[in-house]
Each structure stands twice: as structure tokens, then as C-alpha cells.
Amino acid sequence: MIRDDIKAALVTAMKGGDKETTATIRLIQSAIKNRDIEARTGGAPADDDVLVVEVLQKMVKQRRESIEMYVKGNRQELADAEAAEVVVIERFLPTQMSEADTAAAIEAIKAELGASGMKDMGRVMAELKARHAAQLDMSKASALVKAALS
């Protein structure tokens, strides 16, 4: 499980004296704990790794947006710090599908659902997310689906 990998990495980082990695992993654990608390009130996903991957993907997205803002504001040192956090967080994410694999998956779903135009984008995206959410950046996949249905 991804949670176990995160705990082991925290112990390793602490023993190695790597303060930046330790801090980032603690942020990850905190975000996961917050998501666990939120999930208590609603229906939790059957697979724990799905929940953890969602949290990690959200964290990466937030940091990428922050990097963009820092670069625009000429705060390169803050952008570099965020980029270092992204590297640590991405260590725990499953490998992402290549663009070619993503396009193939979209075409398969498109053919399976009989999708022909933009009106079917919601159905295609829902099915894509259900099957490949852990291996895809859904914002990039959205652009590929839009192109495939145009």
C-alpha cells in the first residue's frame, strides 16, 4: 500500500537527516489524515490506494499552480521549494500513462460507448476516470478527450 511506502520513506528521511523530505512527507501524511476524516462522513472508496492517490494528485496540482504564480511574481526561490516538494510527492504516485497510451484508452472508451461528438464528453470522461484515474492527470486527459471528440 502507498501509505506504508510513505511511512517507510518518512523513517528513512528522518534517519538520513533530510529535513526538506521529512517536512514534505509530513505534509502528505497530514493531507491524507484530513481526507480520512472527511471520508468518515461520506462513503470512503473501497480501495485505500485510490484515496491516497487522489490526495497526492491534488497536492501536486496545487504545487504546480503555486510554482506558476511564484514564477510570474519573480519569486524563484519559492518556486524551487515547491518544485522540490512536487518531486517528493510524485515518488509515491503510480507511474503515469504516456500520451500514446492515454490516446489509445480514450479511443477504446469512445468506441465502446459509441461516442461521436462533444455531447458525449461527460460520459467519456466519467468512464476514463473510473478506469484510469490513478494513472492520469485528468486535466491533460480532458484536452485529449476534447480533441478526440472534435
pLDDT at 42: 62
- 110 Cβ neighbours under 8 A, 6+ residues apart: 120, 124, 148, 149
b vs e for 7-26, b when ≥16 Cβ sit within 10 Å of the residue's Cβ? eebbeebeeeeeeebbebbe
At 4, list the grid cell: 506504508
At 131, list the grid cell: 478506469
| Domains of the chain, residue spans | 2-90, 99-149
Banded model confidence at residue 14, pLDDT cuts 50, 70, 90: very high
Mean of all residue pLDDT scores within the chain: 87
Q: Do domains 2-90 and 99-149 have the same CATH topology?
A: no
CATH number of this structure's domain 2-90, picked from the four choices 1.10.3720.10, 1.10.1510.10, 1.20.120.1200, 3.90.1150.10: 1.10.1510.10
Q: What is the pLDDT of residues 39-89, one digit of tens each?
A: 777 655 556 777 888 899 899 999 999 999 999 999 999 999 999 999 999
Domain spanning 99-149, CATH architecture: Orthogonal Bundle (1.10)
- pTM, entire model: 0.75
Q: What is the pLDDT of residues 88-144, one digit of tens each?
A: 999 998 888 888 888 888 888 888 888 777 888 888 888 888 888 777 777 778 888
